[in-house]
Chain A
Amino acid sequence: MSVLIVLFLTAVLVLFSGVFEKGKYARYIGILGLIVGLYFSFLPDCEFFAQYKAMYEYGYNAALFTKISIVVTLFLFFLGGFAFSNHRSHQSELYSLMLFALCGGIVLFGYQNLVTLFIGIEILSIPLYVMAGANKTDLRSTEASMKYFLMGAFATGFLLFGVALVYGSVGSFDLYAIHDFAINNPKNLMLIMGSILMLSALAFKVSLAPFHMWSPDVYQGSPSLITAFMASVVKISGFFALFKLMTIGFNGIAGDWINILGVFIILTLLLANVMGLVQTNAKRMLAYSSVSHAGYIALIFFGLNNFSTYILGFYLFAYSLATVGVFISLIWVEKIKKETSFAAFNGLGKREPLLAVVSTISMLSMAGIPLTAGFIGKLGLQFWVRH
């Protein structure tokens, strides 16, 4: 929890640093805070926080995912100086909102209670609604923000309704109480309904079909750096929350939700890949690719074992790094050419060879070609799916 406090304080500092020199120092304070946060994430949590164990526990898995998401955010912050150099005002707000969203993600890594889950999701989402609309003069950005907000509100409604049903049947918000109850009463219809509603809500967040409709528009409209943030950190958080909820909380009734998830996955893989093929805009194509990756990662639920968390972490980390790599060149092209169609990328290799090499390797990693991290991630998933 000390990481959370460090990052939260950094976010507040970054927000207020906007008062001085038009927010010139915001990024540097943010980077410093993230590095301190990364240092704290390696330490075991303070004894003092153990008393909040029923709500939030900074355990081994939480630490792993916290590190991953802090590292990815750091990369995005490094990229920020370049990406945000167009709009000089309101920079500090964007950075602090990113940090707040990261805090929400970290809450999701360690939640032990459905209330914490809900709070984490909201802390993660509300800054994102604002960030999606950060290009205030751009109509698409405003549309993205509005769309994301409405869809997110929908998902929140689902989530709360699901939580209510689960609470109604179990009588507790505690994850492990739900776990025990689900094992003892596998035929409780209210619990099953609740679990499916919560699954749907989280499927919204990680953009699994058929709840993926928002993602292409939102990804395209948002400023590119924010899109990269959504495709990496938000996905990591959402997925781990879903993973923890389904494998711990609703483990006992797995037979009831696994088929629904299977349908989601098949739909996702089919729809997203086919739609991704016909896109002509790189950003939109990446949005569909991110949807299809969500479908692929969700295969982890088939064939769970001791390694699953590590495979999940590895895959998400590899995918996030690849996303950042691709977005570097996307941001560069967007800045020079003011658009992101495939044609805008023509001649990138000649003008910026290093950038072209980085994004090529990243894309190969996304495609899962051997000798890239993406291949190992996919291989790991394949292995346990087949078991």
Chain B
Amino acid sequence: MSCLLFTLLLLPLVGSGLLFFWKNNSSKYIALAFAFAEMFIAFYMLGNFDFHPTVDAPLQYEIAYPWSSYIKSSFNFGIDGMSMLMVILTNILVPLIILSSFNEKKAYPNSFYALILLMQFGLLGVFTSLDGLLFYIFWEVTLIPIWFIAGLWGQEDKRIKFTTKFFVYTFVGSLFMLIGLIYVYNQSASFALTDLYNATLNTNEQTVIFWFIFFAFAVKLPVFPFHTWQPDTYTYSPTQGSMLLSGIMLKMAVYGVLRYLLPITPLAIGGISGEIVIILSVIGIIYGALIAMISTDSKRLIAFSSLSHVGLIVAGIFASAVVTMRTGLTFEGGQGAMVQSFAHGINVVGLFYCADILYKRFKTRDIRKMGGLAKVAPKFAILFMIILLGATGVPLTNGFIGEFILLKSVFAYNYIMAVLAGLTLILCAAYMLRFYGKTMFGKGDEAVLATTKDISSVEFSVLASLAVFVIALGVYPQPIIEMVSNSLVFIYKSML
């Protein structure tokens, strides 16, 4: 069985290498074929996945080869419920992201698709690695392709400045994580995950390590004061770059917080640090939502809404962690975070695609200059509405379940925080509906509307498949919750 995971990891790399030399217009079809093959493997693995394992911390499809005896690290990959969910998310989104670019004429298409597949390789590595150093390496591997995607295909006049900012910001963050991990390694004498968990560290050490490692995650998520790279990078990247960044790359940090930060530094989280993080993320929730309310740039609006949603995810994870340290095992926050990560990945990719479709029609990102599209593009109006409601967290859409569980876990920590965090639901509805109203109803540019047709079949198929996920997971989220519960229980238990 282990060869399955091996194939899953290597296939994108092979595809990427092939595409770099495939200077041909057919490169997009090859990329799509690789992505679909990858999706097929992922679903096959899901089919054989044991949802109710009998042992603690069940790892399935495990691969382990020694790598370096000098640095005690090994090629150790495996999948548990959390990883499985993220692997599925990656493999659902990457084909859709590739498909979403089919109508565009990109310069150097082969390199573009090669970089997307390379990115997929890095992301899958992050989600399946069971070794601290390997995790760090894949974490950085994802940075290189997205840097090139944003730098080469981004908006002409701004791309260099903002991609440099993005790269330096995230790279500095990751280096802090590396230092933190090396410190833990010096205590545990191995990078293997279980050894890192068992490292003996006192509270002061844990606090320092917590902030070092958390800095990397906080930049990537982003959490409130470290978010300044995000709106610019999301806005000036090509649409596919924004989708990769917000849809999947952000989830790396959520995954990292759960997988590494909670079990390694529980004492720090139980102390003041956990509370500071919760306060920061609640600030982020409100701050992001307020800025989104007044944003006129469609992509910037989505970027700030993402900041707001991520704030809730982080607040939920840490609220449960703090409660676990104080009163006893609760893992709802983690559950909610995983469900919401999956939902947010799907919704935000849909929203960015809608923003892209609007941009193609109106040739502007300013939502004040759009309008009236619902009349000429009814199919688009419906699909956009479904995805938008999913992002808002209306019941029976995928966003609702996650936000509900997250708010519940924050409530268990502190009801004032929960009330503040709950503002996200109201504010989100306000800015999202404003976004929808301004663009789809009202008076638009008549000249544009006269020549505009409804969405093409490619656009329809991408949006429709996302909309199917939005509704299906909203009606029946049980499989996801079941999938992650087991590994989350293990993670929150190992804090104690």
Q: How far is the CA of A387 from the CA of B189 in the complex (A)?
A: 12
* A307 with B140: CB separation less than 8 A: no
In the complex, chain A residues whose CB is within 8 Å of the CB of B144:
364, 369
Q: Which of chain A's residues has its CB closest to B138's CB?
A: A370
* B140 with A383: CB separation less than 8 A: no
State whether the Cβ of B183 lies closer than 8 Å to any Cβ in chain A.
yes
A370-B140 contact given A307-B70, A379-B71, A383-B71, CB 8 Å threshold = yes
State whether the Cβ of A371 lies closer than 8 Å to any Cβ in chain B.
yes
Interface residues of B in 133-147 (CB under 8 A from A): 133, 136-138, 140-141, 143-144
Q: How far is the CA of A54 from the CA of B138 in the complex (A)?
A: 49
In the complex, chain A residues whose CB is within 8 Å of the CB of B136:
370
State whether the Cβ of A89 lies closer than 8 Å to any Cβ in chain B.
no
A387-B186 contact given A307-B70, A369-B144, CB 8 Å threshold = yes
Q: How far is the CA of A382 from the CA of B71 in the complex (A)?
A: 11
State whether the Cβ of B30 lies closer than 8 Å to any Cβ in chain A.
no
Q: Which of chain A's residues has its CB closest to B136's CB?
A: A370
In the complex, chain B residues whose CB is within 8 Å of the CB of A370:
136-138, 140-141
* A386 with B186: CB separation less than 8 A: yes
In the complex, chain B residues whose CB is within 8 Å of the CB of A380:
70-71
Q: How far is the CA of A364 from the CA of B147 in the complex (A)?
A: 12
In the complex, chain A residues whose CB is within 8 Å of the CB of B280:
none
State whether the Cβ of B182 lies closer than 8 Å to any Cβ in chain A.
yes
CB distance from A98 to the nearest CB of B (A): 34
CB distance from A71 to the nearest CB of B (A): 22
Of listed A307, A380, A386, A387, residue having the most chain B CB within 10 A: A386
A371-B137 contact given A364-B144, A379-B71, CB 8 Å threshold = yes
CB distance from B129 to the nearest CB of A (A): 12
- Across the interface, A371 reaches (CB within 8 A) one of B70, B141, B179, B183, namely B141
Q: Which of chain A's residues has its CB closest to B107's CB?
A: A350
CB distance from B125 to the nearest CB of A (A): 10
CB distance from A309 to the nearest CB of B (A): 13
In the complex, chain B residues whose CB is within 8 Å of the CB of A387:
186
Q: Which of chain B's residues has its CB closest to A368's CB?
A: B175
Q: How far is the CA of A181 from the CA of B46 in the complex (A)?
A: 69
Q: How far is the CA of A87 from the CA of B383 in the complex (A)?
A: 67
Q: Which of chain B's residues has its CB closest to A369's CB?
A: B140
* B182 with A383: CB separation less than 8 A: yes
Write the A350-387 contact mask toward B (1 if CB under 8 angstroms, else 0): 00000000000000100001110001000110110011
Q: How far is the CA of A78 from the CA of B137 in the complex (A)?
A: 33
Q: Which of chain B's residues has its CB closest to A311's CB?
A: B70
Interface residues of A in 192-230 (CB under 8 A from B): none
CB distance from B97 to the nearest CB of A (A): 23
- Across the interface, B183 reaches (CB within 8 A) one of A364, A369, A379, A386, namely A386
* A382 with B140: CB separation less than 8 A: no
* A382 with B182: CB separation less than 8 A: yes
Q: How far is the CA of A2 from the CA of B451 in the complex (A)?
A: 82
Q: Which of chain A's residues has its CB closest to B139's CB?
A: A370
Q: How far is the CA of A32 from the CA of B140 in the complex (A)?
A: 41
In the complex, chain A residues whose CB is within 8 Å of the CB of B70:
307, 380
In the complex, chain B residues whose CB is within 8 Å of the CB of A386:
182-183, 186
Interface size on B, residues (CB 8 A): 15
In the complex, chain A residues whose CB is within 8 Å of the CB of B137:
370-371, 375
Q: Which of chain A's residues has its CB closest to B152's CB?
A: A349
Interface residues of A in 306-355 (CB under 8 A from B): 307
CB distance from A275 to the nearest CB of B (A): 17
CB distance from A59 to the nearest CB of B (A): 22
In the complex, chain A residues whose CB is within 8 Å of the CB of B133:
379
Q: How far is the CA of A379 from the CA of B144 in the complex (A)?
A: 19
In the complex, chain A residues whose CB is within 8 Å of the CB of B141:
370-371
Q: How far is the CA of A375 from the CA of B133 in the complex (A)?
A: 11
In the complex, chain A residues whose CB is within 8 Å of the CB of B178:
382
Q: How far is the CA of A382 from the CA of B185 in the complex (A)?
A: 12
Q: Which of chain A's residues has its CB closest to B133's CB?
A: A379
In the complex, chain B residues whose CB is within 8 Å of the CB of A375:
137, 140
CB distance from A360 to the nearest CB of B (A): 9
Q: How far is the CA of A132 from the CA of B482 in the complex (A)?
A: 69
Q: How far is the CA of A387 from the CA of B183 in the complex (A)?
A: 9
In the complex, chain B residues whose CB is within 8 Å of the CB of A371:
137, 140-141
Q: How far is the CA of A131 from the CA of B357 in the complex (A)?
A: 60
Q: Which of chain A's residues has its CB closest to B186's CB?
A: A386
CB distance from B409 to the nearest CB of A (A): 34
Of listed B136, B144, B186, residue having the most chain A CB within 10 A: B144
Q: Which of chain B's residues has its CB closest to A387's CB?
A: B186
Interface residues of B in 419-444 (CB under 8 A from A): none
CB distance from B164 to the nearest CB of A (A): 11
CB distance from A296 to the nearest CB of B (A): 13
In the complex, chain A residues whose CB is within 8 Å of the CB of B182:
382-383, 386
CB distance from B165 to the nearest CB of A (A): 13
In the complex, chain B residues whose CB is within 8 Å of the CB of A369:
140, 143-144
In the complex, chain A residues whose CB is within 8 Å of the CB of B143:
369
In the complex, chain A residues whose CB is within 8 Å of the CB of B183:
386
CB distance from B216 to the nearest CB of A (A): 13
Q: How far is the CA of A369 from the CA of B137 in the complex (A)?
A: 8
Write the A262-293 contact mask toward B (1 if CB under 8 angstroms, else 0): 00000000000000000000000000000000
Q: Which of chain A's residues has its CB closest to B134's CB?
A: A370
Q: How far is the CA of A307 from the CA of B71 in the complex (A)?
A: 11
Interface residues of B in 163-220 (CB under 8 A from A): 178-179, 182-183, 186
Q: How far is the CA of A371 from the CA of B143 in the complex (A)?
A: 12
Interface residues of A in 66-83 (CB under 8 A from B): none
Q: How far is the CA of A386 from the CA of B186 in the complex (A)?
A: 8
Q: How far is the CA of A370 from the CA of B140 in the complex (A)?
A: 6
Q: Which of chain A's residues has its CB closest to B140's CB?
A: A370
In the complex, chain B residues whose CB is within 8 Å of the CB of A307:
70
CB distance from B478 to the nearest CB of A (A): 38
In the complex, chain A residues whose CB is within 8 Å of the CB of B186:
386-387
Q: How far is the CA of A387 from the CA of B136 in the complex (A)?
A: 20
Q: How far is the CA of A371 from the CA of B145 in the complex (A)?
A: 13
CB distance from B159 to the nearest CB of A (A): 14
Q: How far is the CA of A380 from the CA of B143 in the complex (A)?
A: 22
CB distance from B463 to the nearest CB of A (A): 34
Q: How far is the CA of A73 from the CA of B136 in the complex (A)?
A: 34
Of listed A369, A380, A383, A386, residue having the most chain B CB within 10 A: A369
Q: How far is the CA of A379 from the CA of B140 in the complex (A)?
A: 14
Q: How far is the CA of A221 from the CA of B182 in the complex (A)?
A: 41
CB distance from A374 to the nearest CB of B (A): 12
Of listed A307, A370, A371, residue having the most chain B CB within 10 A: A370
CB distance from A165 to the nearest CB of B (A): 39
CB distance from B475 to the nearest CB of A (A): 42
CB distance from B168 to the nearest CB of A (A): 10
Interface residues of B in 283-304 (CB under 8 A from A): none
Q: Which of chain A's residues has its CB closest to B20's CB?
A: A357
Q: How far is the CA of A264 from the CA of B11 in the complex (A)?
A: 48
In the complex, chain A residues whose CB is within 8 Å of the CB of B140:
369-371, 375
Q: How far is the CA of A386 from the CA of B182 in the complex (A)?
A: 8
CB distance from B12 to the nearest CB of A (A): 15
CB distance from A61 to the nearest CB of B (A): 17
Q: Which of chain A's residues has its CB closest to B183's CB?
A: A386
Q: Which of chain A's residues has its CB closest to B137's CB?
A: A370
Q: How far is the CA of A382 from the CA of B183 in the complex (A)?
A: 10
Of listed B133, B140, B143, residue having the most chain A CB within 10 A: B140
A-B contact pairs, 7 of them (CB 8 A): A307-B70, A369-B140, A369-B143, A369-B144, A370-B136, A382-B182, A387-B186
- If A370-B136, A370-B138, A383-B182 are given as contacts, then 8 extra A-B residue pairs at C-beta distance below 8 Å, sorted by A number, are A307-B70, A364-B144, A370-B141, A371-B141, A379-B71, A379-B133, A380-B70, A387-B186
A: residues with CB less than 8 A from B are: 307, 364, 369-371, 375, 379-380, 382-383, 386-387
Q: Which 3 A-B pairs have the closest CB atoms?
A: A370-B137, A370-B140, A369-B140
